[in-house]
Amino acid sequence: MAQSLTHGEMSLPADWRDLFALTKPRVMSLVVFTALCGLLAAPGSVHPVLAFSSILAIALGAGASGALNQWYETTIDAKMKRTANRPLPAGRLDRQTALQFGVGLAAFSVFLMLFAANWQAAVLLTVSILFYVFIYTMWLKPRTPQNIVIGGAAGAFPPLIGWVAATGSVAPLPIALFLLIFLWTPPHFWALALFVRSDYAAAGIPMMPVVAGERATRRQILLYAVVMAAAAIAPWPLGYTGALYGWTATILSALFVLLSAQVGLRSAGADDRMQPEKRLFAFSIAYLFILFGAVVADHWLPL
Amino acid sequence: MTDENPQQPFDEAEYRRRQRVRANLMGWILGGLAFLFFFITMARMVVPT
């Protein structure tokens, strides 16, 4: 029978590692961490099983969003060096499987959230998945250089969902955390876009450096970094957090602005290795991890 | 768009290996979910909603 199984008659079942890769595990780690911080910073206590299940639901929702994003962007991913080896553009997985996997995972994540937490968190999770897939991936990303500015809202949902899963209601602190990720997204992604600009240009994605040029992007990075720093520190004077978070946010945000200034006030020549941009991109990830860790530490270890 | 059936001709061993891995994985996932839903139910019984 083996010899008769050829291309076109029957295809290989998808390898589980390719399905796993479809969920963008590295992005998911940041989503899980910020959601967990939102949940742990909420007042009161959550049963560990319900907390675990809520975070699992958010992780699966993020995975579903990633899978549906890759399903929709197969052609674009094939044109970019950074993404050409993903399971779909590399041809290791067929699009139908990816679509079914993504939709199934999305539906299950919402059901799990509804069962383990509350309807408010389930609604927010649904909105975040739909926002990421329809508003960001399908509508904004191929049309406007402001794609990640507005689309950043999708990535800002997890701490809010974590908080709502724990409390059933929204409060100023998770909204501040939402705002923080929302304002963090543009400098984070534009730093990346600066050093993979040719990739985006080849794929026809209207990222800021491709459409508005490098100089305008650098200025915008610095501008957003300053506004983001203000938003990051604001919960402290407003009384939503204590000094531990306040000082951490102040020091790290000052560093963020400093690194953004290095990017914002320079122009890259030919054969530039784009070190300041790569440094800002790497630091921006650590920044978010440490700051959200500080929110939790501040809640549990008030100084 | 990529080919809807992009895989190349393959041998039965690889086909069986993937089937076996997926079946095992599905078994573990379903078993895990059964436990998870049981514990969620227990937790919801002790936590007022």
What is the C-alpha separation between A38 and A173, in angstroms, rounded?
Answer: 9
Taken in order A279, A280, A285, A287, the sign of the CA dihedral is positive
Residues from chain A contacting residue B1 (CB–CB below 8 Å): 74-75, 95
pLDDT at position A63 over 70: yes
Angle at A234 (CA atoms; ends A228, A238), nearest 5 degrees: 165
Helices (H), A94-171: 95-116, 119-130, 147-167
Shortest distance, CA A80 to any CA of chain B (angstroms): 14
Flag whether pLDDT at A223 surpasses 70: yes
* Fold (CATH) for A17-168: Tetracycline Repressor; domain 2 (1.10.357)
pLDDT band at A251 (very low <50, low <70, confident <90, very high): very high
Concatenating the DSSP letter of every residue in A218-287 gives HHHHHHHHHHHHHHHHTTTTTTSS-HHHHHHHHHHHHHHHHHHHHHHT----TT---HHHHHHHHHHHHH
Compute the distance between CA of residue A152 and CA of residue A178 in angstroms, rounded to an integer.
10
Tokens representing residue A128 in the block: 């975040």
Q: Is pLDDT of A303 > 70?
A: no
Q: Is the Cβ pair B39, A1 closer than 8 Å?
A: no
Instruction: Name every chain B residue with its beta carbon within 8 A of the beta carbon of A84.
Output: none
Among A13-22, A72-81, A150-159, A161-170, top mean pLDDT goes to: A161-170
- pLDDT, one tens digit per residue, over A111-146 is 999 999 999 999 999 999 999 999 999 999 888 888
pLDDT value of residue A1: 36
In angstroms, the CA A102 to CA A96 distance is 10
**Is B2 within 8 Å of A91 when comparing Cβ atoms?**
yes
pLDDT tens column, A253-287: 999 999 999 999 988 777 788 899 999 999 999 99
Nearest CA to CA, how far is A248 from chain B (Å)? Answer: 35
Whether residue A75 lies within 8 A of chain B, CB to CB, comes out as: yes
* A29 touching chain B per CB within 8 A: no
> What distance in Å separates the CA atoms of residue A203 and residue A188, rounded to the nearest whole number?
20
**Which pLDDT band holds residue B7 (cuts at 50, 70, 90)?**
low
Distance CA A293, CA B33 (A): 29
Q: What is the ipTM of this complex?
A: 0.76
Indicate the pLDDT class of residue A104, thresholds 50, 70 and 90.
very high
Residues in B closer than 8 angstroms to A88, CB to CB, are: 2
Structure confidence at residue A195 (pLDDT)? 86
Flag whether pLDDT at A110 surpasses 90: yes
Helix then strand count (H, E) for chain B reads 1, 0
Q: Which of residues 108-167 of A touch B (CB under 8 A)?
A: 115-116, 118
CB–CB contact A11 B49 (8 Å): no
**Residue A124 has what pLDDT?**
97
What's residue A267's pLDDT? 84
Report residue A6's pLDDT band, with 50, 70 and 90 as the boundaries: very low
Give me the residue from A50, A88, A89 closest to B47, CB to CB.
A50
A91 in contact with B at a CB cutoff of 8 Å? yes
**Euclidean distance between CA atoms B1 and A302, whole angstroms:** 54
Give me the mean pLDDT over the A140-163 stretch: 90
Predicted confidence (pLDDT) at residue A57 exceeds the cutoff of 90: yes
Average pLDDT, chain A: 91
Mutation target to probe the A interface, by most A beta carbons within 10 A, among B36, B37, B41, B46 is B36
Q: What is the DSSP letter of A106?
A: H
Domain boundaries, chain B: 13-49
pLDDT at A152: 85
CB contact under 8 A, B1 and A5: no
Nearest CB to B22 within list A13, A74, A93: A13
Q: What is the pLDDT of residue A8?
A: 47
Mean pLDDT on A90-96: 91
For chain A, which residues make up each domain, given as ranges?
17-168, 171-297
Give the model's confidence band at B9: pLDDT under 50 very low, under 70 low, under 90 confident, else very high.
low
Is residue A188 pLDDT above 80, yes or no? yes
User: Are the beta carbons of B25 and A16 separated by less than 8 Å?
Assistant: yes
- Measured in angstroms, the CA of A269 and the nearest CA of chain B are apart by 36
